[in-house]
A and B are shown apart, each in its own frame.
Chain A
């Protein structure tokens, strides 16, 4: 950033994360890219868009612009509404499987505001909601234990973590319709 900033408060949007484990620790991961959100450390975006060189088309070069760029699709994404974000609770991930959580995210740095959300250069979770299974099967009890473990693990981010009733996917919509 060069010069005076335009705003002094981060924008808050909504997004969905995958839940993973690293070194025995529960971590948040992006749904569409292989990025880990480290507890206690803001995530910084970088453009990973690759293109063929105009002069040497056999060469693939990485973009050199800082993320986010208005002409690119890079940056850390967030939707402006809960309803726009929650559909990603059930969208298949190209980079991994696993449980999903939804939450609010703070965005700052360079920010590209779009019609229904933002792309930013820096982000950190602001509040996390973990869906609780509602089945009464024994399998569900085990799953509930996993959910509790995940919720406790996510407290390492230092932000409020809340359990919400409902299954991941569409049925969580009612749980989040406060």
Chain B
């Protein structure tokens, strides 16, 4: 591709990733039930 002579060089570090987070190949993560880890009581003393 012809784009002419170089004029200057700089760096770009985008704040937001230009790559879409979710593409068709990356399905949304499965929702897990909001339960406490096994063996861990939800309330103390019960």
Q: A residues touching B (Cβ–Cβ < 8 Å)?
A: 1, 3, 5-11, 15, 31-32, 39-42, 68, 70, 77-80, 84-85, 88, 106-120, 124, 126, 155-159
Q: Are A41 and B19 closer than 8 Å at their CB atoms?
A: yes
Among B11, B14, B20, residue most surrounded by chain A Cβ atoms (within 10 Å): B11
A153 to chain B, nearest CB (A): 9
How many residues on the B side are at the interface (Cβ–Cβ under 8 A)?
24
- Docked complex Cα distance between A3 and B12 (Å): 11
Q: Is the interface of B mostly helix, strand, loop or mixed?
A: loop
**Closest approach, in angstroms, between the C-beta of B32 and any C-beta of chain A?**
23
Choose among A41, A80, A114 the residue that contacts B5 (Cβ–Cβ < 8 A).
Answer: A114
Please name the residue on chain B nearest to A77 by beta carbon. Answer: B1
Known A40-B23, A79-B3; contact A6-B10, beta-carbon cutoff 8 A:
yes
Binding site for A on B (CB under 8 A): 1-15, 18-26
Contact A112 B13 (CB under 8 A): no
Contacts of B24 in A (CB 8 A): 39, 155-156, 158
Q: Please state if A11 and B12 are interface contacts (CB–CB under 8 Å).
A: yes
Q: Which residues in A have their C-beta under 8 angstroms from that of B20?
A: 40, 157-159
